[in-house]
Structure 1
Amino acid sequence: MNTKLRLALYAQVIFFALWAAWCMRNFNNAPAIWLSTEPVDPRDLISGKYVQLRYQANNLEKLNCPAGGNTLYVRLDPAAEDTPTAKGPVRLHEAKACATAPEGEGIWVKAQPSRYTRGRVTYGIEKFYLNENDPLLDARSGTLAVRAAIGRDRRLRALELARKTDARGNITP
């Protein structure tokens, strides 16, 4: 009996180690982009300490996206000018096109159409969990920029947050 339990334990450890290695490899040397956020009510006391995020790139109403399907691809292009943040100036990316498959050049990322709101998509990075003492915990979405890595499967992973500032470096309210 002990041998069977040990084998089951070893199998589980090996499975989770391989899974972690695959997840890390998917984002190894991945390019990173910055996304701008929109205001949203961030509080949910049951789920823990996180910042609820909504991105300007979530709203695709102006792009005439194809209807149907479970997956859309959104092309993100860099903005014309840098945006000042607490981590220095960053070039934010904006949604410029969408399709059912990546078309042509550019940064294409995978998104899922929202079940509840027409013309909106989710990228899987709408929550960013923080340490209890992190000063960004009280930050409102809309005052933040998010650095996200693009995996080989074209999914986004949020890496860090930065507060937007004005040209003089003052944090925007």
Structure 2
Amino acid sequence: MRNIIVAALILAQVALLLVMAIGRETIVRHGERVWLRTSPVDPRDIFRGDYVRLNYDISRLPKALWGDAVATSVQDKANRTRYLREKTLYVSLERGPKDVATAIKADLTPPARGLFIRGAFQPGRGWRLGDKVPTFLNDLRYGIESYFVEQGSGLELERGRPEGINGTLRVPLDIEVAISKRGEAVILRHRWAEALVIGHEMSTVKAAGENSEYRLLSLQVYRSPAADETALLLPDDLRTLSLACGQQRIAICPDAGKDAAERPFTQDDVRVIPPLQEYKDIVKIPVARYHSGQWLSADGSRVLGHSEHEWQIAIVYDPPAVPLGLPAELLPGLYRRRLLSDNAWWIDLDAN
């Protein structure tokens, strides 16, 4: 009798594996294929071989994309974490250039039409509780976060940048997935994204004529050869840049505000980024310096704000959707969406 039970358990496990394999193959054959943008982190599992743990752009959804049911659940301060953890989230997707899909809505019921992916909320330290209502859903998981690759290539993908580049600059990965009609996803392959991206680098600099040192924050800009966008809007006053420092935003422009926002741009404010040929040619622009708990302008002449830590920082590129004063012929190729130099969990883009 005992042998029969053991055999039955073994057969049940084999049957389960077969069902899973058949289900995966069905999704691969018949699922809708799309690319998802991601940045890879945390390579190599010594027990399972090389793999990359993926963090997708759709793993973090701002409040503007929440459906009514999600928004209502988040408003319930006492029960939101428990309630959402028990629910399946359905994230509607929209195809963009090069078939890269972006999220357009997240809800607790599947949409009536269109492509969607099914996920779950697994809150980590990026989920802000307390009296403040969260401004984004962080740590969404879709069952496609582990990507196994050829032995020895995991570190290269995790590094996300060519040898010789320091700082936070990462070239994102695009992951092709097949998605079933029920929203289940399976990873197919990867490619390096053709993109214009930014990062930042902190370096220690000695003050001229002084014995003291400070930390210089520089913007890094990288463009791959086939990127659609080729230029950034970077006027001398850097009014398209700001610092995300913990839960506060710090302006870099000396007269930031309505007047700066309405000041017209000129052709000289458009900076064309050459495609990377040699790593030493990465574009670097000094943005700010940190010393004794203060953020100052790059030349040290103005105090921008205060912070306990210089490491908890990101540069935000946030240009206007319609740059005033620029001729129409300069708009093609100009990157006109928000960019972050670091996608760390603590960045609050809705902070004041």
TM-score of Structure 1 vs Structure 2, range by shorter chain: 0.7 to 0.9
Residue type of the partner of 1:51?
Answer: V
Tell me, yes or no, if the aligned pair for 2:45 and 2:51 is still in contact at 8 Å: no
Q: Partner of 1:64 in structure 2?
A: 66
Alpha-carbon distance in structure 1 between the residues aligned to 2:9 and 2:66: 51
Percentage identity across paired residues of the two chains: 20
Superposed displacement of residue 19, structure 1: 4.4
When structure 1 is superposed on structure 2, of 70-79 and 159-168 the one drifting more is: 159-168
1:159 maps to 2:188? yes
Q: Which runs of 5+ in 1 are unaligned?
A: 83-89
Q: What are the superposed Cα offsets for residues 114-141 of structure 1, whole Å, 9 maximum, x if unpaired?
A: 221431211111110112044x641235
CA–CA distance in structure 2, aligned partners of residues 105 and 171 of structure 1: 41
Residue 146 of structure 2 corresponds to which residue in structure 1? 127
**Structure 2 contact 38–173 (Cα < 8 Å) conserved:** yes
- The letter of the residue matching 1:139 is L
CA gap 1:106/1:167 in 2 versus in 1, 3 angstroms: farther
Higher deviation after alignment, 59-68 or 153-162 = 59-68
TM-score relative to the length of structure 2: 0.39
Q: Greater strand share, 1 or 2?
A: 2
- C-alpha distance 108-171 of structure 1, shift in aligned 2 (>3 A): farther
Distance 1:154 1:23 in 2: 13
SS in 2 for 1:25: helix
CA distance in 2, matches of 1:44, 1:13: 27
Alignment of 1:75-94 (within 5 A): 75-79=92-96, 82=97, 90-94=98-102
Q: Is the 8 A contact 2:27 2:178 kept in 1?
A: no
- Which sections of structure 2, spanning at least 5 residues, go unmatched? 74-82, 128-136, 161-170, 195-223, 228-274, 280-352
Amino acid at match of 1:59: R
Query: CA–CA distance in 2 between the matches of 1:72 and 1:157?
Result: 17
Count the aligned residue pairs. 161
Q: Secondary structure, in 3 states, of the residue corresponding to 1:42? A: strand
Q: CA RMSD for the aligned pairs?
A: 3.3
2:98 matched to 1:96? no
CA contact (8 A) 1:164 1:171 kept: no
Tell me by how many angstroms 1:106 deviates: 1.9
Question: Does 2:127 correspond to 1:109?
Answer: no
Are the aligned partners of 2:27 and 2:185 in contact in 1 as well (CA < 8 Å)? no
1:138 is matched with 156
One-letter code of the match for 2:92? R
Residues 51 and 127 in structure 1, CA contact (< 8 A), matched pair in contact too: yes
Determine which structure has more spread, i.e. the larger CA radius of gyration.
2
Deviations 1:11-44 (A, max 9, x none): 3586243443344234431111101113x53235
TM superposition score normalised by structure 1: 0.74
